């Protein structure tokens, strides 16, 4: 598989990134430029994977950075880390764009803080490790080893924004089967991360 992983290209230094977001919150243009250099490829690639068109990708990318610029003051490091914040925001913005073209009216509200539920940093050590490069490599491998019918459902929900009901309809499967396959698939991937952390 010729997929390239970004994990090695992205440095996840939490303290630096939180400091970077603090500076962006204070409207430091150098800081947002620095964040751009660090995340541009990841964000651009994720958006392109979802919306598929170059023009749309550039527009959504602009929206993501504008949102980072505006929402940085409300970023709470106690509730999550910068990587997850940015990835979630990017994914939601992209799915919004995709859905606005697919359904016109069916829109995720990507303005909602993406990490509303994230937990205090005392519990977030696993999160720090989860985004480490080695785990991403392992996760990539685990993803390819998942049964097709589980991997497809996970990818179509994450990268195409289909709900479980929509997936059940698309694949002509009972809703319960879709839920079970997605739960099992994600659990297997989670186990890869957990295993890595525990060893």
Partner 1 sequence: MNEHLDDLITRYALGIASEADVQELMKWLETEADANGKRAFIQWVNVASVLAQTVDEKTPPASLKSTILASLDADPRTRSTERVLRFTPMQMLMSVAATLIIAVIGTFFYMNGELEQHIRSERLINSELAMMRNVVQERDKIIETALCNIARGTVLSGSDANGQRTTGKLYLNAVSREMALHICRLPKLDEKTVYVLWAKKPDGTFTRLTNIDASRTDVIEANYHLGTYAGEARNEFLISVEANGSASKQPGKTLIMKSS
Is 5 a binding residue for partner 1 by CB under 8 A? The answer is yes
Determine whether 137 is exposed, middle or buried from the number of CB atoms within 10 Å of its CB (0-12, 13-18, 19+). Answer: middle
Is 164 a binding residue for partner 1 by CB under 8 A? The answer is yes
Is 106 a binding residue for partner 1 by CB under 8 A? The answer is no
Helix axes 14-25, 29-51, angle to 10 degrees: 110
Task: Take residue 99 and report the two structure tokens written for it.
Answer: 């859905």
Is 128:11 a contact under the CB 8 Å cutoff?
no
Among positions 52, 62, 134, 169, the unique one binding partner 1 when judged by CB under 8 A: 62
Q: Which of 95, 31, 88 is nearest to 60 (CA)?
A: 95
By CB under 8 A, how many residues form the interface with partner 1? 69
Among positions 78, 163, 169, 174, the unique one binding partner 1 when judged by CB under 8 A: 163
Among positions 66, 134, 145, 147, the unique one binding partner 1 when judged by CB under 8 A: 66
Question: CA-CA distance, 100 to 124, in Å (whole number)?
Answer: 34
Question: CA-CA distance, 163 to 170, in Å (whole number)?
Answer: 10
Is 82:66 a contact under the CB 8 Å cutoff?
no
Question: CA-CA distance, 77 to 55, in Å (whole number)?
Answer: 33
Q: Which of residues 174-193 bind partner 1 (CB under 8 A)?
A: 179, 182-183, 186-187, 189-190, 193
Within the chain, strands assigned E span none
The least distance separating partner 1 from the CB of residue 15, rounded to whole angstroms, comes to: 19
Q: Which of residues 136-155 bind partner 1 (CB under 8 A)?
A: 136, 139-140, 143, 154-155
Interface positions with partner 1 (CB under 8 A): 2-7, 10, 29, 32-33, 36, 40-42, 44-46, 48-49, 57-58, 61-62, 65-66, 69-70, 83-84, 87-88, 90-92, 95, 108, 116-119, 123-124, 126-127, 130-131, 135-136, 139-140, 143, 154-155, 157-159, 161-164, 179, 182-183, 186-187, 189-190, 193-194
């Amino acid at each position: 598989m010729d997929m390239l992983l970004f994990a090695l290209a992205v440095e996840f230094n939490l303290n630096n990134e939180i400091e970077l977001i603090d500076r962006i919150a204070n409207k430091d243009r150098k800081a947002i430029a620095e964040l751009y250099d660090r995340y541009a490829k990841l964000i651009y690639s994720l958006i392109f994977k979802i919306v598929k068109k170059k023009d749309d990708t550039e527009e959504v990318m602009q929206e993501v950075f504008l949102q980072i610029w505006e929402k940085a003051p409300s970023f709470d490091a106690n509730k999550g880390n910068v990587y997850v914040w940015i990835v979630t925001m990017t994914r939601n913005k992209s799915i919004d764009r995709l859905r606005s073209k697919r359904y016109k009216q069916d829109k995720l509200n990507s303005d909602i803080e993406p990490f509303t539920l994230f937990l205090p940093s005392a519990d977030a050590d696993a999160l720090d490790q989860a985004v480490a490069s080695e785990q991403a490599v392992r996760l990539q491998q685990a993803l390819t080893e998942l049964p097709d019918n589980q991997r497809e459902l996970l990818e179509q929900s994450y990268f195409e924004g289909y709900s479980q009901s929509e997936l059940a309809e698309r694949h002509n499967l009972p809703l319960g089967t879709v839920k079970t396959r997605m739960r099992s698939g994600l659990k297997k991937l989670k186990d890869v991360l957990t295993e890595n952390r525990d060893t």
